[in-house]
Amino acid sequence: MRYELNGASWKGMAKMGENSTSGKAEISVPACDYRRVLEMISSKWTVLVLHALEDGSKRYRQLERLIEDISQKMLTQTLRQLERDGLVKRDIRPTVPPMVDYELTALGESLLVYIREFKTWTRLYYPLVEQARLAYDMGKTESE
């Protein structure tokens, strides 16, 4: 199967995670890039920090106030990981004491587009998930 990206085409994988030589799925192995991205964003704190930064740069204490129930340790770890992944930029201003601002990079902005879609899906469909869970739980109770 041929794919095209930015005008260049290549023979790629037929399905997400499929090995082009063996045809076997590789979704659950570390070689799958999709799995790696899921690992990056699987933390609720990662997604919440990205959302908190979508309106522009913020100082550490601003983020701490915006994100309910996040500990200093988790916020620090999350910001460091997001900076390492290239999604967040840390800007240190040489003042006394130093002022540190965090903002999304272009890469972070590009990921936020998809996270916003996930938020839209949640707003539209999560009530149906809750209904399905309730129906499932009621069925389990009746059959026991």
Is residue 141's pLDDT more than 90? no
Q: Mark residue 86 as left, alpha or beta (left: phi above 0; alpha: psi -120 to 50; beta: remaining).
A: left
What's the pLDDT score for residue 50?
96
φ, ψ for residue 37, nearest 5 deg: -70, -40
Task: Tokens 């570390």: give the residue.
Answer: 30
Token digits of residue 92: 């240190």
- pLDDT per residue as tens digits for the range 113-136: 999 998 999 999 999 999 999 999
Token pair in block for residue 102 = 């965090």
Domain boundaries defined on the chain: 1-40, 43-143
Could you report the per-residue pLDDT of 7-42, keeping only the tens digit for each? 544 344 444 445 555 566 666 666 677 778 888 888
108 Cβ neighbours under 8 A, 6+ residues apart: 50, 53, 82, 86, 87, 88
Say what the pLDDT of residue 24 is: 63
The CATH code for residues 43-143 is: 1.10.10.10
Q: How confident is the model at residue 6 (pLDDT cuts 50, 70, 90)?
A: very low
Q: Rounded to an integer, what distance in angstroms lies between the CA atom of residue 103 and that of residue 93?
A: 14
Long-range contacts of 97-103 (CB under 8 A, 24+ apart): 99/59, 100/59, 100/60, 101/57, 101/58, 101/59, 102/53, 102/57, 102/58, 102/59, 102/60, 102/63, 103/53, 103/56, 103/57, 103/58
65-116 pLDDT, tens digit per residue, is 999 999 999 999 999 999 999 999 999 999 998 899 999 999 999 999 999 9
